[in-house]
Structure 1
Amino acid sequence: MKKVVTFGEIMMRLSPPLNLRLTQANNLDVNYGGGDANVAAALAQLGQPAAHAGCFPDNDLGRAASQHFQRLGVDMQHCVFRGERLGLYFLEVGASLRGSKIVYDRADSAFANLDPTWFNWDEILKDAQWLHWTGITPAISASAAQATRDAIQAARRLGITVSADVNYRRNLWQYGQKAQDVMPELVAGCDVVVCTEGDAEDLFGIRPEEGREDRFVSMCEQLQQRFPQIKQVIATRRETQSASHERIRGLLYDQGAYHETTPYDIVPVVDRIGGGDSFISGFIYGWLHFAQDPARALGFATAASALKHTIVGDINLVTAAEVEHIVQGNVTGRLLR
């Protein structure tokens, strides 16, 4: 079975235990995560071979982060160990009316300072069938954007499917290039994108047509007209009731056909970080394993994302059988013996 390859930064996540605030914390729990690598790790749990390429500092923190993903079954052989700093983020988990909060400390990380020539993409993508990246990666630095560009170009040359979660983070684009100048070229090389109406407007100036009730479909039609390589556009529709209660459903526009799942009510939410990464990993798995059945892949993806909200950490630690259990309507949480 050919592998899925992801590319991006992995950070250390530090969180107060339980629902303590950062100002109350005397100790912090350690996890590791990164949007792209979370997808690789989730796929490995589902039984899909996955590899990750990235850059870590050449110290114990870099090795700890890399080994975390290696233990989860992700092939990390194409990661580079150079530089001095591992990016950090601090997560304060909210509850009820108090939302969760994140503080980033990732400036000048080893990944931000990578050299694109360190990555031989023809070698990395050998025996791969899919490449996935997120809009966070080219936002980190000009060199990270160039490495992403190189990866996409190699994948296109090799006939490998490319997906992206465009994931526009305005505050990350600090190195002099605008997302609106960088992202169109990168997205033009994608077959599948995760994109909301808000991201489409912010990045590409695409707005749903006036008077159209099907705003997502209107956005997707324009997106595919501008980027003909794109075949599927997917997204989740999230209705946040509180920090402890989410309702999500999946949306898919597949070359003119629209699909939507029934919503999942998730209460209490244990950890929503990584929910989007679980969605795209579920879609990739579903597309590869369910004979490219769009509706079934979307249903699997949405169930996978819903399950992630019940698991602490960035990564969706569930099997394909557990996701299928939810897809089949088993949502009561009854004890399994």
Structure 2
Amino acid sequence: MDTQISYILAIESSCDDTSCAVLKNDRVLSNVVAGQEIHTKYGGVVPELASRAHQSNIVPVVDQALKQAGISKENLTAIAFTRGPGLMGSLLVGSSFAKSLSLALNIPLIDVHHMHGHILAHFINEDQKTPDFPFLGVTISGGHTQIVKVTDYHEMEVIGTTQDDAIGEAFDKSGKVLGLGYPAGPQIDKLAQEGDPKKFPFPVPKAPDLNYSFSGFKTAVLYFIQREVKKDPDFVEKNLKDICASIQYTLIKILFQKVEKAVKQTGIKSVAIGGGVSANSGIRAQLLSYKNKGWNVFIPPFQYTTDNAAMIGISGYFKYLEGNFAGMEVTASPRIEM
């Protein structure tokens, strides 16, 4: 197979963003993302509404991605798509479209694990330094909090994961208690920068080994706010920045306690973060501080942190080089092992 030049069209539709990217080998030519504002008023993603919006968005998004890349669909070498994990209805829209396009163009189909994409986003070629194998991938999002030992592009072992909720949900649910809109994570991050991170101490949940637990933290924030508002109805308004700073400080502490432990246990000092929550300024600053301990740290560009098709495309590219293609019998899977 001639792999000198490949044009891979990638589709990502695991949750509420419809995205299409075109990659020329490991470089991104276009990366179009269509968000779904409809979920804001519900305080979270409504699966049925998400799948309907994907159906409306996918054709225009693919068309725009091809136009931005300056190529036609006849130039494409392969089609990559997110197989899972994610919302079943959303995944089905992307996988069905990808299969149809692959059949119509008679080119290979490549299924991609969503979380592999978040980790491999670091290998999108933008002339930056990339991690050497092995390294630890820390995937942090609304649905995942994982520490992954990465030994090759598609050899990944989860060595720590959340036992209940993800760190992104802890941010969003805490924000909801404070009366912030959805998603609350970025708002907490912004407000925290002007607050006192040690004003209100929150508990650090205990979880075995390298695993996480965030459900107890969410409950602690809820009970704290309820208790203080009983004393003073204006408590949140008067202390919002300090509350946000304290929440963010504790969540970062919970996250990196286990990352530090993983580095000690494995002896691997290269750490790369990925996923939507890796856009958080406090998490980025904390990871960078570990350079003083001799760690090699890797932070993805902002445009590759939240769900996007470019990260699916780079994962698909490495599978393409291996000739690792999917058959038409491949199905979307809302829960899929790393």
- TM-score, structure 1 length as denominator? 0.28
Q: Which has the higher contact order (CA 8 A, sep 6+)?
A: 2
Query: Larger Cα Rg: Structure 1 or Structure 2?
Result: 2
- TM-score, structure 2 length as denominator? 0.28
Q: Which has the higher strand share?
A: 1
